[in-house]
Amino acid sequence: MELTFRDMTFEHLEEVLAIEQTSFPTPWSRYAFSYELLENEFACYIVALHGSRVVGYAGMWLILDEAHVTNVAVHPAWRGQRVGRKLMKELIRRAALLGAVRMTLEVRASNRVARNLYQSLGFVERGRRRGYYTDTREDALIMWMDPLIV
């Protein structure tokens, strides 16, 4: 399976929003993604493409020497094919190139698949945000990769 990675642009937005809708109980809006692409100077978003089709995306904020992962999602038809792993590795690579020395993220405590992926990449659980997810009041686990493993 051949994937290419590109900076997310508005031409990708419809496919990204469709993946977002199927991936999260409280999906981000078109406005939220538009803000990230146009206004947020700290934001960096990428898409994974198979041919010209968006099969996944990921984003982060780069603040000083830290990268904060904002979201990662894979189209349901492409799950289980290591797209999420490849997206995360590309995000880590780009973060390092942009000067980040560590990376953090929050993940739902119940999301075993994502937690296992992050742990396999070198992230370590370092905290918990109680009731972080407003839709379910579920806790978020705070994970760090420090230093970045490229």
Whether 118 is catalytic: yes
Contacts of 29 (CB under 8 A, 6+ apart): none
Residue in 118, 125, 132, 133 annotated catalytic: 118
- Rama region for 76: left / alpha / beta (φ>0; ψ in -120 to 50; rest): alpha
Residue in 15, 20, 36, 106 annotated catalytic: 106
Match 């992962």 to its residue by tokens: 69
Q: How many CA atoms lie within 13 A of 144 on its CB side?
A: 9
The residues assigned a catalytic role are 106, 118
